[in-house]
Each structure stands twice: as C-alpha cells, then as structure tokens.
Structure 1
C-alpha cells in the first residue's frame, strides 16, 4: 500500500485510489492495479509517503517521481552501520529495527527505512508498529503541526515511537511485579497453599519473566536504532533538519537515553527475579529429594532385617521361637524409627 500525506491551506489532503491513506480500506488488488496510474505530481507534492508492503509498481512510481532509489527489503536487513545510515546527495537513508505486535501477543522486530529529503519523508516498512497507527490518527487531527515539513514528520513520528515504548516498558514492569509478588507469596505460604497452585504460580512467573526479557530486549534494540539515527541526523542537522525542529532532536536524545536506562534496569530486575524463582524451585526440589532420602535411609535397616530372615538356612534358631515373628516385626519398626528420631534431633527434618 502506498500512502501519501500533504498539507494545503492548513488541511491534510488524503488521496484515495493508488495513493491511499492507511485508514481507507482498499482491496489489495485495487491498490496495485491503480498504482500504474499514480500521478507523479501528487507524489512530488506529498510531505510524507508511507510504503507498507510496497509492490514493485509502487516502488517504481515513487522512485520515478522523486528520482531516488528505494532500498529493497533485503538491503533493509543488512546490519552494517554503513548500510543502515548513509547519505546520497541530499537524501538521508536511515534504517532501524522497531518493536511491533506487543498488544496482540505475537510481537517481533521489523526493519523500517526512513528516507529523508528536504521536501519529502519516505518510510518503507513491512509491518505496522502501533506508533504508526496512532501517529496517522494524530496527523489527521493536527496536520499543520505534525506535517509541517518532512523532518518534522520524522521527528514527531520518532516521538510517538518513544512514547509507545515508554508505555510498553511501564506495562511490562507492572506485569513483572504482579507475577513476582504472586510467586513469592505462594512460596512464603509454604504448606498453606496447595502444591499444584504453588507450581502454577511459579510456572506463570517464569513465563512472564521470559516475556519481559524478550520484550525489553527488542525494545532496547529499537532504542539503540533510534539512538544511532538521532546521532547521525544530529551530525547532519545543519542540512537535514530545520532550525525550529532541532530542539526536538535534543529532547528525543534525552528521552531515548532515559528509556535505555530503564530497559536495562528492567532486564537486571528480571534476571534477579528469575534467579530468585529458580532458587525457590531448587529449594522445593531439594526438600522433596531430602524427604525421599530420609525415607530410603529409614527403610534400609528394616529391609536388612527382613532380608536376613528371608534366608533359607537350615539352622536359624529364631524360626522355632514362639515369639520370633513379633520380635522380627518389632525389630524392623525400631530400626525404622530410630534413624528418623536421630535426624530430627540433628535438625535435618
């Protein structure tokens, strides 16, 4: 889908057909068929062109109209810094991985490229982080501010991404606190809570901590990419960013730095809680193993006595005693009870 935004007389112009706004649900076949008749003047007049899963025809239309090369999906996956951040003429090509899909539970990271020219911002993406959806809605309400220039669009979009990451990290922190409280409360209750309930709480805590680690890692990856982009743009701000928008770069750098520190804190906290939960599980397993060990030790002497009297020797005087059987049973009971009493005295039980 190819989306273009432009501002005229303080109003946002949403062009339908081949150039369709993301809130206009056009069939894919209609969008692709209409791409062949895109008006180049419409593209040249747009401030922001958003390419979501672009077809070759849509890419060609943008490249022809703006006379620049759109990176392919394979080129966007390259990890070298020189392949992700570079300048060609007056255009800056900026690529980073962005977290998406957290609300749906099927989260991941997707590479998004920002092509910034003095007149246009082109975004190339193959997934939709929620920040883009929210920013689209905001752009329709206040286009004169958010779509004033190409660099303003990019910086305000980054601002929305940072706000979204802050919300995600806050939610992750709340989920982690809730899960850890439940696990520690069950462990502290001990025998007052059923073993199945305690095991379920520990299992849920482990799953939550795993998810926290995954989300915070991907969020840190997004923040790292944003930090690199802002550093690169900051070095080029004299030509790439208008003077009135340069203050946004400093604000974004501070916000990104604070979120990186918070994400690192959450990662460390998650690691600590993971170690603590695994320690609780090890203690419970050791308790179970100790119980089985004591039972095995307590049963060894009676087993020895029973084995002796199970022998088939001809001369065994006890076999002829009137009280031989009760004596053997009593001896086995005493041999089982005495080790247990000894273990209790030593504090091993």
Structure 2
C-alpha cells in the first residue's frame, strides 16, 4: 500500500494511490509504503529512480547498514518504532527511510501508530511541516511522545501489581499472575529503552550530517533532550520491577516455608507415638501380646494419642502453628 503526501498551504495532505498514474501526477514530499507488492515497488523505481530495500535488508541490524549514504547520494536510515498493543506482547517494527530529491520514502511492514499520529497532526497544524526533513523529525519526536505514553501505562500497570503483591492474602496463584504481569512490563520497558537509543542514534546522525537548517537542528536537540528525560523513567521502572519481583519471590518463599513448617511440626509431633509403638511391640512375651495383658493395647493407644496431642498443645501455646 502506498500513501503519498503533498504539502499544500502549509498542510500535509494525503493522496490516495491506486494506479501508477496517480503517483506520477503528484509531487509528494513523503511517500509511505506499507507492506508493498512487486508492482508498487516497480512504480517507485520507474518514477523516482529509487530502489527500495528488501525485507531482509530492512531488518539488517549491522551498525554499518543502519545509517549510510548510497553512491547516488541517497541517505538511508533504519529505525525501530514501537507497537504497544493492548492485547498481546509489545514489539518493534524496523522502518527503512530514504532521503532523496527533496522527498522522504518510508518502508515498513505494519501500520504504525506513530505514523498515524503524525498524519493526523499534520492535517490539523498548518505550517508545522515545511519539507521532507520536518516530516522525519516529526516522526522521531512523535515516537518519543508515544514511548512516554507507553511508560505511563507501565506505571499504572505496576501500581496494580503493587496492590496485589502487598495485599493481606497473597497466594501462589496471585504470585504467578504478578510475575507474568511484571515480565510483560519489563519486556516493554526494555523495548522502549532500546528504541529510544536507536532514535537517539538516528537523530545524532542527521545532526552530524549537516543536513538540517537552524530550526531543524534546534528541534533535533529538543528531541534528544526528551529522549534523555525518558532514560531516568526507564531506569526507575527497572528498579521498581526488580523490587516487586524480589517481594513476590519472598512471599512465595514464605508460603513454601509454611508448608515445610507443617511437615516439620507433624514429624516432631508423631515421633513420640512411633517410639511408643516400637517399644510396646518389642517388650511383650509370647506370640500374642494381648493375651499377656488385656489392657496393653488400650493403654498403648491412649499413651500414643497423649504423646501426639501434647506437642501440638505446646506448639500452639508458643504460637508456632499460626
């Protein structure tokens, strides 16, 4: 799918592309390609003389392949953008950017929320975008805002986990649910930190390349400051997740110790009856002990019960059974 955007009266307007003629009759500043087919790739190559990278090339994470200038002068960038879905785990999608001939080409496999937000804002804020480099910087700035919103969601989810961990009755099932929730939030937090590092590198590359004017250079510096402010939040969330993880594991150990305590008390309480039964069975004469003393069995059973009840009474008085 091809989404082309032209600049009209300071607004970024979208032009729907169905045929090659639709694309050839406009002068876009941004061409956004989502899960393109071979025919659409051929249109781009024939009209703009731009060769789009393949899917394997887009996902190439070699340091030398993420930011480079091609032989024809085109600037190529690879940047990861976050998808934080309400259902299912979060994930990152690598986007390939090509800056050429006063146009920005973006290539990705999924429709990204950051791109939708930029398109919506550009229509409602005239004058915010002047050229294709403004579009790219706006994407990076919106990506930082989107990551900040995701971090706020992590804060809220961890508050719910904290209330469950610190409740009066904390069962093993509650611990399993809390650990699962913390694992998901830790994965999202780490993904945000990695994406922000990748965005910082991309913005720094643009600044070092001297491609930006004074206003764009200042906007890039602001993006870097926003990203740096997010680093403190991700570090705090890592510490909070580790604390909750340690607390949860501690409660699991307490619950397990309660079970071991029950077995320990039972083994100590039933040791005297076992000893009495052993002594009684070895100290009667003849083949049938009950014939030697008719009260032998009742006396032994009564003594075994008393010897078992006494430890439990003592443990209860000491508060060891609570």
Other-structure match for 2:239? 268
Equivalent in the alignment of 1:243: 214
Which whole-Å CA distance do the structure 2 matches of 1:223 and 1:181 have between them?
Answer: 30
Q: In the alignment, what sits opposite 2:303?
A: 331
**1:47 is aligned to 2:29:** yes
Deviations 1:313-347 (A, max 9, x none): 62676753243233212221232234445656777
Q: Deviations over 1:205-259 (max 9, x none)?
A: 21210111111111112111101111211211x2x22222111110110111111
Q: Which moved more, 1:337-346 or 1:318-327?
A: 337-346
- Show the 5 A alignment for 1:298-313: 298-307=269-278, 309=280
Counterpart Cα distance in 2 of 1:170 and 1:9: 36
Q: Which residue of 2 aligns with 1:231?
A: 204
- Who is 2:69 aligned against? 87
Map Cα deviations across residues 1-45 of structure 1 (whole Å, 9 max, x no partner).
Answer: 011101123444432242xxxxxxxxxxxxxxx3x4454352xx1
Are 2:31 and 2:103, in contact at CA under 8 Å, matched by a contact in 1? yes
Instruction: Out of 227-236 and 92-101, give the one that drifted further.
Output: 92-101
List aligned pairs for 1:180-329, cutoff 5 A: 180-185=162-167, 189=168, 193=169, 198-236=171-209, 238=210, 240-307=211-278, 309=280, 314=286, 320-329=292-301
Question: How many pairs are equivalent?
Answer: 319
Moved more, 325-334 or 245-254: 325-334
Is the 8 Å Cα contact of residues 41 and 65 (structure 1) preserved in structure 2?
no
Separation (CA, whole Å) in 1 of partners of 2:12 and 2:90 = 32
TM-score (norm 2): 0.89
Residue 170 of structure 1 is matched in structure 2 by 152
Structure 1 vs Structure 2 CA RMSD: 2.5
Q: Where does 1:49-128 land on structure 2 (aligned, <5 Å)?
A: 49-88=31-70, 89-117=72-100, 119-128=102-111
Q: Secondary structure at the match of 2:106?
A: strand
Between 64-73 and 7-16, report the one with greater CA deviation: 7-16
1:10 and 1:217 map into 2 onto residues whose CA distance is 38
Q: Give 2:112's aligned residue.
A: 129
- Structure 2 distance, partners of 1:110, 1:14, is 23
Verify the 8 A CA contact 2:6 2:28 in the aligned structure 1: yes
Question: Does structure 1 retain, via aligned residues, the 8 Å contact 2:80–2:95?
Answer: yes
Shift of 1:143: 4.7
In the alignment, the residues of structure 1 paired with residue 243 and residue 305 of structure 2 have an alpha-carbon distance, to the nearest angstrom, of 47
> Paired residue for 2:134?
152
Q: Name the CA distance, whole Å, in 2 between partners of 1:39 and 1:296.
A: 83
Structure 2: where are the runs of 5+ without partners?
Answer: none
**Separation (CA, whole Å) in 2 of partners of 1:319 and 1:129:** 90
The CA deviation at 1:184 is 0.9
Q: Using CA pairs below 8 Å that are at least 6 residues apart, which structure has the higher relative contact order?
A: 2
Gaps of 5+ in 1: 19-33
Distance 2:222 2:40 in 1: 35
1:21 aligns with none
Check conservation: 1:151, 1:242, Cα contact below 8 A. no
